[in-house]
Amino acid sequence: MKATVVLLRGHDCWFGARVSQMVRLAGARVVQVGSATRATEEQLTAALDPQVTAAVYLVSHHMAQTGMIPLPTFVAACKRAQVPVIVDAAGTVDPLPYVRAGADIVLMSAHKNFEGLTAGIVLGRRDLVAACLLQERGIGRAMKVGKEGIMGVVAGLERWTGRKQAQIEIEWGARVLQLCECLSGVSGLSVEKETDPPENRIPRARVSVAGKRSGTTARQLAAVLRDGKPSVRVWEAGA
């Protein structure tokens, strides 16, 4: 049985565990392509030997953002080798661009953008989605989603298909700008609006502790906000 899965080395990021560890849990052997900061189409093509059963492509703010193979190029190389492509886009806002790009399977989080209960969504080629059901008798049984979780996902997806994503993103941007305006006058801080990689489109207010006049580091500031009343939680990326 084919048991090798190809993954760009720059996509093997840590999100509480490594992506490669998740692949190995399914019984596969991981072959990483390129370095942590650079991968080429030639390196990918060389790795797609007859023992490769799938190739995984990550879309996340956790991974390397430069030097990686663009998704259309990645998909085209895999199609030539007749290798299915799995796109892990768990934290993104819309799975459809990855389906249109030629991904055979797209993995999404049910609870991030779709507002369901904790679960995962597997969408794409019918035969490959059906094959995932076999994991219920393997590792998947331990991660079983309850009936209420499944109904939560269905309701979330139904609501998502009827909402105007572009308008929601405008509202997100307005909230971030308001945060930036409120924080811009605080001594010792610098604030700017930034957006996640193009696939994600989530705007954020990036707050930097400017200088050490106050003697407070970014991590200390995050801890003070967390322990305050009300508790304010910040994403500590870059701290």
CATH of the domain at 82: 3.40.640.10
Q: For residue 91, is it within any domain?
A: yes
pLDDT at 57: 97
Predicted pLDDT of residue 146: 85
Residues 6+ apart with CB under 8 A from 144: 136
Structure tokens at 215: 């003697």
Pair (138, 173) in one structural domain? no
Q: Is residue 104 part of a domain?
A: yes
Alpha carbon 184 to chain centroid distance?
30
The reply to whether 130 and 12 lie within a common domain is: yes
Domain end position, chosen among 161, 181, 212: 161
Residues 172 and 142 both lie in one domain = no
Please tell me the distance from the alpha carbon of residue 61 to that of residue 197, in angstroms, as a whole number.
7
Is residue 120 located within the same domain as residue 15? yes
Whether 99 and 208 map to the same domain: the answer is no
Q: 27 in a domain, yes or no?
A: yes
Same domain, 92 and 180: no
Q: What is the DSSP letter of 191?
A: E
Distances 205 to 120, 140, 158, 190, 229 between C-alpha atoms, Å: 28, 37, 30, 10, 21
- 183: which residues sit within 8 A by CB, 6+ positions away? 189, 191, 205, 207
Residues 116 and 198 in one domain: no
Q: How many domains does the chain have?
A: 2
Which pairs from 32-35 meet CB under 8 Å and 24+ separation? 32/6, 32/7, 32/8, 33/6, 33/7, 33/8, 33/9, 34/8, 34/9, 34/10, 34/67, 34/68, 34/69, 35/9, 35/10
The string of pLDDT tens digits covering residues 92-134 is 888 889 999 999 999 999 988 888 888 889 999 999 999 888 7
88, 116: one domain: yes
Which range of residues forms the domain containing residue 213? Answer: 166-227
pLDDT at 119: 87
Name the stretches of the chain with pLDDT < 50.
none
Q: What is the rounded distance in angstroms from the CA atom of residue 193 to the CA atom of residue 204?
A: 6
Residues 206, 134 within the same domain: no
Quote the pLDDT of residue 214: 62
**pTM: predicted TM-score of the whole model, two decimal places:** 0.81
pLDDT score, position 35 = 94
